[in-house]
A and B are shown apart, each in its own frame.
Chain A
Amino acid sequence: MHEHDQELIMALADGTLETTAAVAAEAALAGCDECLRDLELQRVAIEALDNAPAVYLSATESAQLHETLKDELSMIPPAPVTRSSNVAWGRWAGLAMGAAAMFLGAVLVLPALFGGGDDADTVAFDEIGEAVQDPAAIQSATTAAASATTSAPASAFEDPLAGADAASESAGGDDMAAAATTTDAPAVSPIPAYEIEGDLTEELRVEIIDQLRVNSATFTLSDQAAKNTAPGLDLCIEELVDDAIPDNAEPQIIGTVIGVDGQERLLVIYVTPNLEDTVVVALELPGCEVYQTVP
């Protein structure tokens, strides 16, 4: 039996195919005894499992659990007060490092050339010096440098910790480990934001998809970080699921907030299970208006 038969049988058994597709699938399997037997087995199992009652802790068990946890946890130090990171884009980390280095160079070289070197420059140097030691500060310094030379970016692009997270990850940080910094920022950082000039070209699309495939700096349907960054995003995703994704697909939606020509937009990428039929949809925020779709 081929693997695609297995998927087809599962889709049929799960009832995720539309009527016409289901009829066609049944017809396709009609001549395969093994497939029909597997389909029957799948349906038997699904029916049995569907009828399984939900499992709950009894009130007594729940109370005991909380009591036991209370006792046990009183002897264990809680998780340290930290913020967690979710960014793993080495390339962008490199850009952040590069920008920081350029800024550092400008701070160091230009005063020497033009006879500067007042207290303000010294303070700036000290900040960048710390940035080199602390990835979190790199992006902060980079953002500060960028904001000093360009128009103010959209709010979603100002996450001072995105580059830090990327730097941390590119430096070989543990996938499950978080950067341990104590800041007043939210403990769970929003998804990263990037700026793109011009159209979302085919070349750029491929590059972004490749990045998203190999990294996890993305959100999923249930990731609240996306909503935190772009309020109303969940509704946009619902619309996308309803309008753009076939019912029989198992949607894997990943994406990130990007800027296109200085405007904040959401890039949502739909990837099919075989990773070949990728659809990229850039939605303009707010309002879910489709900015560009790349089949």
Chain B
Amino acid sequence: MTSVLRRARITRMTSRAAEDVELLNRYLKGDISAFDELVRAHEDRVFGICLRMMRDRDAALDAVQETFVTLFRKADRYQAKAAFSTWLYRVTVNTCYDQLRKAQRRRVEPLSPTAEPPDMHSGDLLDAVELRPDIEKALQEMPVEFRSAIVLVDLEGLALETAAQILDVPIGTVKSRVFRGRKVLAESLGNLRAGSRHPKDE
């Protein structure tokens, strides 16, 4: 069963990868319409990653736009070391990290002497998200490193190896982040009985 699934994934990725390379080549030779096709091919997945990373639809749309602007300017830097999509999603995740950092800085800057301290866990970013609110809140509460691993592996269905390339960390680190992220998420969901008799992890 696993073998069949793996075969299907390989075939699908190979087909998409072929089209990506062709489009990229055309764009790099000056065909701007090929760039538009690349955007159309990847916009939903890029948006999915951004929405789940940023947790706000407008912010996610900004990140999508920024990602494709970066692609437009730096497409010549892509090397065939990995699939084009892997490179694009790496740009996507890095763009989200940048925008999250900027958002955090904006929150830290006090608007007035009586301004509330920043609260990254507040619920004001929950507008128009696609997940169940409890899952979204659980994702929101975990460290961003865990969230990015969960988004790529569990929500976007990417292989651990691909996620490792995107996040630029060893595959073991991705496994650990997914493992710990799932724990945080499950505990947040409260689907386990309260006051479990099992000892809590360190």
Contact = CB atoms under 8 A, between A and B. Distances in A.
Interface of A: 1, 3, 6-7, 9-10, 13, 16, 33-34, 36-38, 40-42, 44-46, 48-57, 61-62, 64-66, 68-69, 72-73, 76-86, 176-178, 180, 186-191, 216-225, 227-228, 234, 237-238, 241-242, 247-248, 250-252, 273
5 contacts: A37-B198, A55-B47, A57-B44, A223-B81, A225-B80
B121 interface: no
Contact of B7 (A45, A86, A241): A241
Interface string B36-72: 1001100110011001100000000100110011001
B192 A44 contact: yes
A84 B76 contact: yes
A10 B25 CA distance: 39
A56 B78 CA distance: 26
Contact of B81 (A3, A13, A54, A216): A216
A62 B196 CA distance: 46
A234 B14 contact: yes
Contacts of A1: 201
Interface centre among A1, A79, A237 (most CB of B within 10 A): A79
B28 interface: yes
B137 to A, nearest CB: 12
B113 interface: no
Interface centre among B35, B48, B77 (most CB of A within 10 A): B77
Given A9-B179, A45-B185, A33 B199 contact: yes
B183 interface: yes
Given A41-B182, A52-B135, A76 B73 contact: yes
A84 B80 contact: yes
B187 interface: yes
A78 B35 contact: yes
- Report, as a range, how many residues of chain B touch the other chain: 35 or more
Given A45-B183, A65-B43, A178-B78, A223 B83 contact: yes
Contacts of A78: 27, 30, 32, 35, 72-73, 75
A196 B196 CA distance: 61
Contacts of A80: 76
A76 B28 contact: no
Contact of A66 (B10, B25, B39, B47): B39
B120 interface: no
B21 A222 contact: no
Given A76-B69, A86-B80, A223-B83, A45 B48 contact: no
Given A9-B179, A53-B130, A247-B2, A222 B191 contact: no
Given A78-B32, A221-B13, A252 B171 contact: yes
Nearest to A218: B81
Contacts of B176: 6
Interface of B: 2-3, 6-7, 10-11, 13-14, 17-18, 20-21, 24-25, 27-30, 32, 35-36, 39-40, 43-44, 47-48, 51-52, 61, 64-65, 68-69, 72-86, 130-132, 135, 138, 150, 154-155, 159-162, 165, 171-172, 175-176, 178-179, 181-183, 185-187, 189, 191-192, 196-199, 201
Contacts of B28: 79, 81-83, 187
Nearest to A33: B198
A82 B76 contact: yes
Contact of A224 (B18, B48, B132): B18
Nearest to B4: A242
A50 B157 CA distance: 10
Interface centre among B64, B165, B171, B182 (most CB of A within 10 A): B182
A241 B10 contact: yes
A244 B161 CA distance: 18
A65 B61 contact: yes
Given A34-B198, A223-B83, A227-B18, A66 B179 contact: no
B5 to A, nearest CB: 10
B79 A178 contact: yes
A54 B83 contact: no
A205 B183 CA distance: 41
User: 10 tightest CB-CB pairs across the interface, nearest first?
Assistant: A45-B182, A37-B198, A225-B80, A55-B48, A222-B83, A222-B13, A41-B186, A44-B186, A86-B80, A224-B17
